[in-house]
Amino acid sequence: MHTRVRSAILISGRGSNMQALLDAARDKADFPASFDLVISDRADAAGLDIARKAGCDALALQQTGAGKAAWEAELTTLLRRADIELVCLAGFMRLLSGGFLAGLGRPVLNIHPSLLPDFPGLNAQAQALKAGVRVAGCTAHEVTEVMDAGPIIGQAQVPVQTYDSVEALSARILREEHRLYPACVARFLGARLQPSPTPEPETPVHAH
């Protein structure tokens, strides 16, 4: 049995992409991550109960009057205490600061419902419909301090129908998110876990 990378998922709501990650870790023997910790920034997030039923440690960490920096410091402590090596955002509705990302020193991944760099930020599906694009989709990417601007790991496209509503397009994109995100987590970790190629031994040169 290969060793899996201890990973955490950050959520704010029901966590349907969290469920897709948990399913992949449960169903695929060669999946490279184990999801050992789920943290929500909202105590009423439905995903917390789902995570607990799946056997994950799950807890709420809400920001208090001490402010964002104190909240991020506590989040860093929780992740380090659990020996987390990878963080996946799944419907997590907070921006993480550059200071947090640098201090954590672990990769953070996200799934976004547009073909980045198009339509970053909130309501990406509504942005796509307003722009009149014929193709939409989703993007898995690394998280940096600039919102939705980190290196892209993978994308999936969906057609935009003539009379699409935001709800219909969102549902079509979400199905692709559930497929793409676990695949990109596996791809990302696979690339990081590849052993360095062994250099070819040099042929000795004999003096004549």
Residues with catalytic annotation?
112
Compute the C-alpha angle 133/138/143, nearest 5°: 125
Distance CA 62, CA 48 (A): 13
Distance CA 19, CA 7 (A): 14
The residue assigned the tokens 């699409």 is 164
Sheet containing 108-112: order of strands = 57-60, 33-40, 5-11, 86-90, 108-112, 135-142, 152-159
The residue assigned the tokens 């994308």 is 155
